[in-house]
Amino acid sequence: MMKYLKILHISLTERLAYRADFFLTTFFRFLPLVTTFLLWEAIYAGAPKADDGAETTIVGFTRDKMIAYLLLVQISRMFSSMPGLATGIAHDIRDGNLKKYLLQPIDMLWYLLSYRGAHKIAYIATTALPYGILFFLFRDVFDLPGPWTWLAYFLSLILAFLIGFFFEACIGIAGFWLLEVTSFMYIVNIFTFFVSGQLFPLELLGEYPYLTAALEVLPFQYLAYFPAMVFLEKRQGTELIVGLLIEFAWAIGLLVFCRWLYHVGLRHYSAYGG
């Protein structure tokens, strides 16, 4: 009897442990959304009311639009975040696992890209339910855009995926020269959290034209902010097309840079004998 109880206990903990992995990480990934929501609720609550009783807006966002924005950047990040990519590459460089790509007729970057692509599809499929419920609960804050906007939105998300991938891959490849990428990546992630617009729409920094100009030129906004703005139809006509073109240029630019960096890194690597 005791034996079977023990077996029951062991198999139960194994199963629970494995599912806990999935549920805990999903739960953790929702936490920043919750706190950001509440922070903005508090900000809108503290803002002075207009005398004519009009709805409070902050940098052109009503409360509802802000909520919609915060939900949409989550979708952007679902495409553009690459947890563990940079550190994985850096580990491969350090441990000498890189040799497996050099010996086999396979290119590391293309391999990782297809691997990530598959991973993203699986991840989006598994989290569709919680996100579906969330969006359903907040359905009132959204106005569904027209078909062209949908098309532009999907395009911007695919490009966001590519920019996210090549940006992190570049940092990972920097592991050829950097001593330690993990803790560096931690800082970069925090930095990205702010400048990609995950915490606030970038209009908020409108008073600092140099800063907004810099953010306009840098690739970070395309990781979260830009796709969300496309969906909210705050980018239209020429502005939308120019935005998409810049995003496309960044995706290509980072791809080229990443390949070049990898190439130089490999030479550096073999010079040191691996």
Partner 1 sequence: MLLRYVNLWFSLAKFSLLGELAFRGNFLIKIFVELLWLGILLLFNYTIFQQTTSIADWNAQQYFFFIGCYFAMGGLIEMLFLDNCNQFADLVRSGDLDFFLLRPIDEQFLVSCKHVDWSCAPNILLGAVIMSLALWQIGWTFDTIQVGIFLVLFASGAALAYGFLLILMSASVWLMRNQSLFEMWWLFTTLMRYPSEIFKGPWAQPTGWFFFFVIPIMLVTNVPARVMVRPLLEPWLACYAIAAAIVVVAASRYIFRAALQHYRSASS
Partner 2 sequence: MPIIEANGLSKTYRVYQKQEGLFGALVGLFSREYKDVVAVDNVSFTIEPGEIVGFLGPNGAGKTTTLKMLAGLIYPTSGSATVLGHVPWEREDAFRRRFSLVMGQKNQLWWDLPAADSFQLHREIYSLPSDQFDATLSELTELFGVKDLTSQPVRELSLGERMKMELIAALLHQPQLLLLDEPTIGLDVIAQVTIQKCLRDYNAARGVTVLLTSHYMRDVEALCKRVLVITHGKLVYDGSLAGIVDRFGNEKLVKLQFDGDDSPADVATFGEVTSREGPIVELKVDRARVPEVLAAILQRYTVADISINEPPLDRMIAKVFEQGTV
What are the CB-based long-range contacts (under 8 Å, 24+) for 124-130? Answer: 124/78, 126/22, 127/26, 127/78, 130/26, 130/30
Mask for 85-124, x = binds partner 1 (CB under 8 A): --x-------------------------------------
Look at the chain and count its residues: 274
The answer to whether residue 194 forms part of the interface with partner 1 (CB under 8 A) is yes
CA 80 – CA 222 distance, rounded (Å) = 9
Q: Does 17 bind partner 1 (CB under 8 A)?
A: yes
State the binding partner of 15 from partner 2, partner 1, none, CB within 5 to 8 A by kind: partner 2
Number of residues that bind partner 2 (CB under 8 A): 5
Q: Show the 3-state SS of 11-40.
A: HHHHHHHHHHHHHHHHHHHHHHHHHHHHHH
The encoded tokens of residue 221 equal 């906004």
Site for partner 1 contains 160 (CB under 8 A): no
> Contact letters (x/-) for partner 2, 19-38, by CB under 8 A?
x--x----------------
Contacts from 26-33 at CB under 8 Å and sequence distance 24+?
26/127, 26/130, 30/130, 32/193, 32/198, 33/70, 33/71, 33/74
**Residue 174 C-beta: closest distance to partner 1, Å:** 10
Closer residue to partner 2, CB minimum distance, 22 or 115: 22
The footprint of partner 2 (CB under 8 A) covers: 14-15, 18-19, 22
State the residues that interact with partner 1 by CB under 8 A.
17, 20-21, 24-25, 28-29, 31-32, 34-35, 38-39, 41-48, 58-59, 83-84, 87, 177-180, 182-191, 194-195, 199-200, 204-205, 207-208, 211
